[in-house]
Structure 1
Amino acid sequence: MLLLEGIFVYLNSNVLSNLYKQRVKATLKQDTIFVKIVAKDYPHEKYGELFENSGIRFTLINPYGKVEFDSQNISREDYMDNHLDRKEVEEALNVGEGFDIRKSKTLGPTFAYYTTTFKNKYGESFIIRIARNYTKEKQEIVKFLALQILFFLILNFAIHFFYRNYIKRDFYKKINLMKSFLKSGENSTANYIKEEKWFFELWTVLKEWQKKNLENIKTLDHERQTLSLVIDSIDIFIGLLDSEGRFKVKNNVLEDIVDFKRQKYMVAIKYIEIIDIIKKGINQKISISEEVYIQSIKRYFLVTFKVIEFRDEFLITIKDITNRRNASEIQKNFISNVSHELKTPLTNIKGYLIALDGAPDEMRNKFMKVIKENVEKLENIVLDFLNISKIESSNLLNIERVSIDNIINRVDSILQVLIEKKNGKVDYNVRLKNQKNIVKMDVNRVVTILKNLIENGLIYNKNENPEIEVEITEIDDRYIFNVSDNGIGIPASEQYKVFDRFYRVDKSRNRNSGGTGLGLSIVKSLVEQCGGKITVKSSENRGTTFKFFILKDKN
């Protein structure tokens, strides 16, 4: 009996151990997918920045076994052993993926390792290894083994006790009864073995219980993984409420709407408009889907409340649909403005082309000059449209280490013709921390920002000698720019609209300046892509100052 119990404990422990191994392997595979998605578009030198706060132990190993990057040993990879003899690395090189559980030579505790081959878009081939601490799983397996052993010890003690005190006496009684039957010579068909059937039934019940228990563990683990993937992959807030209005599950989306540290929806959700919908659904036990507009933050949300009747729970989703609601109006306004911007120069060109027919020679040159000016306006309009489309479709920064003088020279070179035409003057006041005036920033974006702001200061200026002053200073984590002019200024009531597309200070929408009204919108987008913010301060007929900052590159 002890042998059978030992075999049973051994087999169950192996089954549970294999289950934990498969579970951790599946988890590491999911982490590997995430790492591949993030890492494929970057060279391995950038992985320290990408995975610095990921919480995943991620090791990058070249085909020769050298560790190129380890997320928990950044900058100490050169001191790590060659990993070519690791079991999981050998398997990855032979069959494409590998898995092993062992004690870490680098960190000490027992880790589960999963490896797979990987090639990024730069053509670099590596082995990706994802590791996870396996100490807790080992402790759970040992704990499970100890519980089984304890169970059988108690069971054996109980059997022994009952055997000594009841079953043994019963056996003697039955033996004596059989002896009596034999002595009396009576025929007996009694089968005393059937009276012990409960012992065998108990054994069967225990085996079935253990089988179902392992099946339930596997099912629950699969459901947990599936639920985790679903919640983490969606771009809307999702939460599961119990019957008391407490969140059992929620993801970390819409932090400005939901306080994730609180559990009760009444205090976790910050706006009464959403709370009212959830409260109505809970009280009436009905599913609801409503759009709400929150005036204080000027945003639209789609709130969906579903009743899970068989579990007395409620599923809540909150999706920000502001962009969708505004998209139609934005598209309509954009098309209207584009049409208007293109129509004016096209109408002028058409009119003067008609006027050329039969015009005297002295007027033809004048008409051709007007046509040329309008063609240049069309070119500027198309160029601005292409620029703003390009800006909105790409958020990747091209950080360069360059002298600030180089940026100033590029801006002056672009604006030289306009400065001479306007008889203007542009002064720069640079105060940086290093003596060589070296900065690290996206040069093309900064040049475009300064070019547009200085250009506006020259164009919208009624002075005979326009003056532009540019100040560039450096503080702890950012560069600060001030661009001031002595131009026409912007009315206080209009200043909040200066960064809107197609906005012009000129109420008559006079297009003699050739501008499209997109310049400051482009500037705002570029500043925000550089991690900064731009503000304006202006007085009518006394000039305008634009102040913006861009964050320093941390590398």
Structure 2
Amino acid sequence: MQKLWVRITFSFLLLMFFALLGSGLFLANTMKNTYMNLKESQLKQTAHLVLQALELDGLERENLQSKVKELSAPVTSRVTVINREGKVLADSEDDPASMENHLDRPEVKQVISEGKESGISTRFSHTLGYSMMYAAIPVEFNGDVEGVVRVALSLETIEKAIRHLRITLTIVLFVALLLTALIGIRIAKGIAKPVEEMMLVSEKLKDKDYTARVRMQPKGELGQLANAINVLAASLKSQMEKIQENEQQLSGVLRNMMSGVLLVDKNGKVLLANRAIGCMLNSDPSDFTGRQHVEVVKNAGLSRLIDQCLTEKTEIRDEIQFYYPDERILDAHLAPYVGENGELKGIVAVLHDITDIRRLEKMRSEFIANVSHELKTPITSVKGFTETLLDGAMEDEEALHHFLDIIHKESERLHRLINDILHLSKIEQHMIPLEIENVNVVEVVGRVADTVRKDVERKGLELLLPKEREVWIEGQKDRIQQIILNLVSNAVSYTPEGGKITVSLVERGDQLAISVKDTGIGIAKKDLPRLFERFYRVDKGRSRNSGGTGLGLAIVKHLVESHHGKIEVDSQEGKGTEFTVIMPKKQ
């Protein structure tokens, strides 16, 4: 693209060229016409002077030829006398007898045929090689035109003068055009450079480079325009920084929100989706943009709420169930958003995952029911046997000892249950601080084995212990012992006679895996996800008969998590169960 100053200069020079050319041609023609008119006047005057000097009393004078030659010398012009029939009677430069008839000459015809007072004609002479001007006036006798006196003048000198004038004018005009070009270039650059810089700054602003500024400061209106562009650029930069800051804040809020956000236009197409809703739908939220909400959410309930909100233009709140990719319960809050004129632009849907809340509510209700049920059994037993004693059974010593033994066992069971509940509550609320020390896990496993030795021998079980002598980790010794004791006690309780229990320790880099494996009854797959819930029992009758409270594995899980570890379970019905506790060696 040509620069602006080049286009301005070219246009200016083109205009000046045609202006100067027109002026030069007009001036040359005007001067030429002035010369010619002057010569015509002179030639007519000369013709009248010649006519007066000839003192003609008739065209047939004998000495006319000599008289004409005599008069032509002082006037420096060719003089010719022609009669009415066009015959040349006398000529100052040629023999009249050898000359042709001049009746058809324009200047002669103007006087004789047209009756004009004078005749003027200019034509090129091929014989002489230059143009001649002819002026003819009538010769009258008694009021009749008897002939004409014609005076001819060479235009060779005039043509040379005109050619010289044209050359001079051409040179002058060329110099003027050259000076005009130099001045025009300077003026054009002075105007164009600030304009070009302003255009460049405008292009940069269009390309979102808001640091661009007009450095040149021209005077006048261009200076005002440059200042206006700089102010505009500064204002745009400030506004864009605010917009970007707001966008970053909004993006940060949306990106880190735990609730899913979906922005849908009035046509049902998704405009925006945050990361949380992508996780809920197990899809990339960037793929949602521009698609219909039905394709994105793949849930009839939510799509129905979106369509209802778009139709009714009112806020809607409801719970919806998702079954893909996981079963979830979502609290959906939908509200329309409108433009400046109040027209509907679309709707905003905010989805809160309340699956855990509902699950916890269910667990809380189940916990209350389980606690009530667990407390009810020993209390009912104590109350029943006490009433029996009060009704007279105290008189029977054997019955008295039997009932008191039952009351003692039930009160012990009630005591253990309450202690476990209080202990679990303290662990969950982190009321018991973790006292870190170096613990030899092999030694802890040995103590646990000594604790359950009688039960193992009574059921004829085989208990296999780790072969290592020392395996050290950081943790609280009592908690680690309680973890292993609960797992081994469960293995003893649920392993039939003649079964085998294996306790092993496996070091995995900076972690230690404590495994308790048995050949017991096993656990069904459907029970595995709820195995660590409070009061959850796989075999409720057997668990209660074994004296368990249903809180052992829940306590184990929280004790493991207090050591920043995790617990895994692998089980098959009829083949056995393996619990693996993985804890870091360093806390």
Q: Which amino acid aligns with 2:419?
A: L
CA distance 1:511–1:319, change in 2 (3 Å): same
Quote the offset at 1:338 in angstroms. Answer: 0.8
Equivalent pair of 1:403/1:439 in contact (CA under 8 Å): yes
2:466 partner SS: strand
Shift of 1:374: 0.8
Shift of 1:452: 1.4
CA contact (8 A) 1:238 1:317 kept: yes
1:105-155 Cα shifts (integer Å, max 9, x gaps): xxxxxxxxxxxxxxxxxxxxxxxxxxxxxxxxxxx9xx989622xx132x5
2:227 and 2:280 map into 1 onto residues whose CA distance is 56
Deviation at 1:346, TM superposition (A): 0.9
Q: Provide the C-alpha distance between the structure 2 equivalents of 1:259 and 1:554, rounded to a whole number of angstroms.
A: 38
Give aligned pairs, total.
366
- Pick from 519, 522, 530: which aligns with 2:552? 519
- The equivalent position to 1:238 in structure 2, one of 261, 267, 272, is 261
Closer/same/farther in 2, CA of residues 510 and 229 from structure 1, 3 Å limit: closer
Flag the 1:508–1:547 CA change in 2: closer, same or farther, 3 A. closer
Counterpart residue number, 1:544: 576
Equivalent position to 1:324, from 341, 357, 369: 357
By how many angstroms is 1:310 displaced? 1.6
Alignment of 1:441-480 (within 5 A): 445-461=479-495, 463=497, 467-475=500-508, 478-480=511-513
The residue that corresponds to 2:319 in the other structure is: 291
Q: Once structures 1 and 2 are overlaid, which stretch shifts more, 446-455 or 371-380?
A: 446-455
- Give 2:336's match in structure 1, choosing from 307, 331, 336: 307
Shift in CA distance, 494/199, structure 1 to aligned 2, threshold 3 Å:
closer
Is residue 262 of structure 1 aligned with residue 286 of structure 2?
yes
Root-mean-square deviation (Å): 4.5
* C-alpha separation in 1, matches of 2:210 and 2:241: 18
**1:362 aligns to what?**
398
C-alpha deviation, 1:224, in angstroms: 4.3
Match of 2:381 in 1: 348
- Displacement of 1:532 after TM fit? 3.0
Answer whether contact 1:536 1:546 (CA < 8 A) is retained.
Answer: yes
Q: Deviations over 1:174-205 (max 9, x none)?
A: xxxxxxxxxxxxxxxxxxxxxxxx78975885
Deviation at 1:402, TM superposition (A): 3.0
Cα 1:364–1:461 change in 2 (3 A) is farther
Match of 2:463 in 1: 426
The SS at the match of 1:255 is helix
2:303 to 268, 276, 279: 276
Cα distance between partner residues in 2 of 1:258 and 1:398: 41
Match of 1:170 in 2: none
Are 2:256 and 1:227 equivalent residues in the alignment?
Answer: no
Instruction: Give, as a single letter, the amino acid of the residue that structure 1 aligns with 2:566.
Output: G
Which of 416, 427, 446 in structure 2 is aligned with 1:380? 416
What do residues 348-401 of structure 1 show as CA deviations (whole Å, max 9, x unaligned)?
112222333433333333222212111110112112222333343349977654
Question: For the Cα contact (< 8 Å) 2:273–2:288, is it kept in 1?
Answer: no
Aligned 8 A contact 1:453 1:483 in 2? yes
Gaps of 5+ in 1: 1-139, 164-197
Is the CA contact 1:388–1:522 (under 8 Å) kept in the aligned structure 2?
yes
Residue in 2 that maps onto 1:42: none
Larger radius of gyration: 2
Quote the Cα distance in structure 1 between the aligned partners of 2:560 and 2:396: 51
2:376 and 2:494 map into 1 onto residues whose CA distance is: 23
Say if 2:439 is the partner of 1:439.
no
Is the partner of 2:504 in helix, strand or coil? strand
Pair 539,231 (structure 1): closer, same or farther in 2 beyond 3 Å = closer
Q: Which moved more, 1:407-416 or 1:323-332?
A: 407-416
Does the C-alpha gap of structure 1 residues 445 and 319 become closer, same or farther in structure 2, counting only changes over 3 Å?
farther
Distance 1:279 1:295, change over 3 A: same
1:320 Cα deviation after fit: 0.5
| TM-score of the pair, normalised by structure 1 | 0.53
Cα distance in structure 2, aligned partners of 1:221 and 1:397: 47
Partner Cα distance (1:514, 1:262) in 2: 56
Secondary structure of the residue that 2:279 maps to in structure 1? coil
For 2:212, the equivalent position in structure 1 comes to: 147
Change (3 A) 1:456 1:254: farther
d(CA) in 2 for partners of 1:220 and 1:229? 14
- Which of 397, 407, 414 is residue 444 of structure 2 equivalent to? 407
Change (3 A) 1:528 1:285: farther
Checking the alignment, whether the CA contact within 8 Å between 1:247 and 1:263 is kept in structure 2 is no
- Taking a change above 3 Å as real, the CA distance of residues 214 and 351 of structure 1, as seen in their structure-2 partners, is same
In the alignment, which residue of structure 1 is the partner of 2:67? none
* TM-score, scaled relative to structure 2: 0.51
* Distance across 2 between alignment mates of 1:398 and 1:284: 61
Can you give the 5+ residue segments of structure 2 that lack an aligned partner in the other structure? 1-204
Distance (Å, rounded) in 2 between the aligned partners of 1:269 and 1:516: 47
1:335 aligns to 2:368 (yes or no): yes
Q: Using a 3 Å threshold, how does the CA distance of structure 1 residues 494 and 307 change in structure 2: closer, same or farther? A: closer
Does the 8 Å CA contact 1:236/1:320 hold for their aligned counterparts? Answer: yes
* Contact 1:240–1:250 under 8 Å retained in 2: no
8 A Cα contact 1:239 1:251, kept in partner = no
CA shift in 2, pair 1:331/1:275, >3 Å: closer
- Matched with 2:429 is 393
Identical pairs, percent:
26
3-state SS of the aligned residue for 1:439?
Answer: strand
Q: How does 1:140-179 map to 2 (within 5 A)?
A: 147-148=212-213, 151-153=214-216, 156=218, 159=219
